[in-house]
Amino acid sequence: MDNSSDTLRLDKFSRQLHNYLLLAHKSALLVSDVDKANLNILLTMLGGLDKDIIDAYYGLFGETAKPVEQLALKYRVTQDALREIIAKDLHRLSISPEWQMMMRRMKPIVQKKIGFTI
């Protein structure tokens, strides 16, 4: 499942986090175990349910990425409502000092891939 083309309405900062989560799912070489541990800590800021949604949507931490349709059925919300939840969660995390610090510590190639510029 590739959620990279799913229709999420994201601002610039949320898009950077979205790109990083896609990268974390696809490339074990670019995202280190330490980065994944920090990402897990960052996602816990959302609370259990929202973290589960983000983990499942992006296929993080060994999960298979799930499409919006499947997650909407599981959580008994509309597909649009689920997209809004994901976008809201990404925005919340993308403006956090923790995420900003994580981005500054990333390898330059990762920063480039997610669209981060200093």
What is the per-residue pLDDT across 66-106, written as a single tens digit (0 to 9) for each? Answer: 999 999 999 999 999 999 999 999 999 999 999 999 999 99
Say which residues have a Cβ less than 8 Å from residue 108's Cβ, sequence separation at least 6: none
**CB of 108 within 8 A of CB of 90?**
no
The predicted-structure confidence for 2-41, as pLDDT tens digits, reads as follows 665 567 889 999 999 999 999 998 887 788 888 889 999 9
Whether 1 shows a pLDDT value over 80: the answer reads no
Q: What is the pLDDT of residue 6?
A: 65
pLDDT of residue 62: 85
Domain ranges of the chain: 17-112
More confident residue, 82 or 117: 82
**pTM, to two decimals:** 0.88
